[in-house]
Amino acid sequence: MDRRQIIMSCAASSALFAGKSVWSPGRSNPQNVAALLSSTSPNAAVAPPKTRLQAAEEMVNSETRTAIAQGLRFLKSRQVISGGFTGAFGTNGYASGTAVTALAGLAFMCGGSTPFDGPFASHIRKCTQFLLAHTSAKGYISSPGNQRSNMYGHGYGMLFLSQVYGMSGSQAVEATLRRAVTMTCNVQNDLGGWRYQPKKQEGDLSITICQIMALRAAHDAGMQVSEEVRDRTLEYVYKSQKRDGSFQYMLRGGRVSLALTAAGVVSLYSAGVYDGEPVEKALKWIFARRPQKGQSSRQVSPMNYYYAHYYAVQAMWHAQIKHPEFWNQWYPAVRDELLNRATQGIWDDPKVCPEFSTAMACIILQIPFNYLPVFAP
Write the pLDDT tens digit of every residue in 258-308.
999 999 999 999 999 999 999 999 999 999 999 887 555 556 777 789 999
Q: Is 350 exposed, middle or buried (0-12, 13-18, 19+ CB in 10 A)?
A: exposed
Q: Higher confidence at residue 148 or residue 305?
A: 305
| pLDDT bracket for residue 149 (50, 70, 90) | confident
β-strand pairing of 248-250 with 253-256: antiparallel
**Does a structural domain hold residue 24?**
no
By the 8 A CB rule, do 16 and 221 touch? Answer: no
Residue 57 CA to residue 161 CA, distance in Å, equals 26
Fill in the DSSP letter of residue 130: H
Closest CA to 250 of 268, 270, 236: 236
pLDDT tens digits for range 159-177 = 999 999 999 999 999 999 9
- Helix spans in the chain (H): 3-8, 50-57, 62-78, 98-110, 121-133, 150-168, 171-186, 205-220, 227-239, 258-270, 277-287, 305-319, 324-341, 354-366
Residue 14 has pLDDT above 70, yes or no: no
**Does a structural domain hold residue 113?**
yes
Residue 207 CA to residue 210 CA, distance in Å, equals 5
Residue 326 CA to residue 154 CA, distance in Å, equals 31
**Does a structural domain hold residue 212?**
yes
Residue 39 has pLDDT above 50, yes or no: no
* CATH number of the domain where residue 149 is located: 1.50.10.20
Residue 83 has pLDDT above 70, yes or no: yes
Residue 169 CA to residue 162 CA, distance in Å, equals 10
* pLDDT score, position 301: 73
**Does a structural domain hold residue 87?**
yes
How many residues belong to the chain? 377
**Does a structural domain hold residue 257?**
yes
Contacts of 191 (CB under 8 A, 6+ apart): 203, 232, 235, 236, 239, 251
Question: Three-class SS of residue 170?
Answer: strand
Percent of residues, the chain, with pLDDT higher than 70: 82
Q: Is 283 exposed, middle or buried (0-12, 13-18, 19+ CB in 10 A)?
A: buried
Total domains in the fold of the chain: 1
Q: Is the dihedral of CA 50, 56, 58, 64 positive or negative?
A: negative
Q: What angle do CA 197, 200, 203 make, to 5 degrees?
A: 75
**Does a structural domain hold residue 43?**
no
* pLDDT score, position 188: 98
**Does a structural domain hold residue 201?**
yes
* pLDDT score, position 152: 95
* pLDDT score, position 298: 58
* pLDDT score, position 57: 67
**Does a structural domain hold residue 42?**
no
Question: Three-class SS of residue 185?
Answer: helix
Residue 366 CA to residue 349 CA, distance in Å, equals 19
* pLDDT score, position 47: 39
By the 8 A CB rule, do 97 and 149 touch? Answer: yes
Domain that holds residue 325: 3-18+30-37+48-375
pLDDT tens digits for range 307-330 = 999 999 999 999 998 999 999 999
| pLDDT bracket for residue 118 (50, 70, 90) | very high
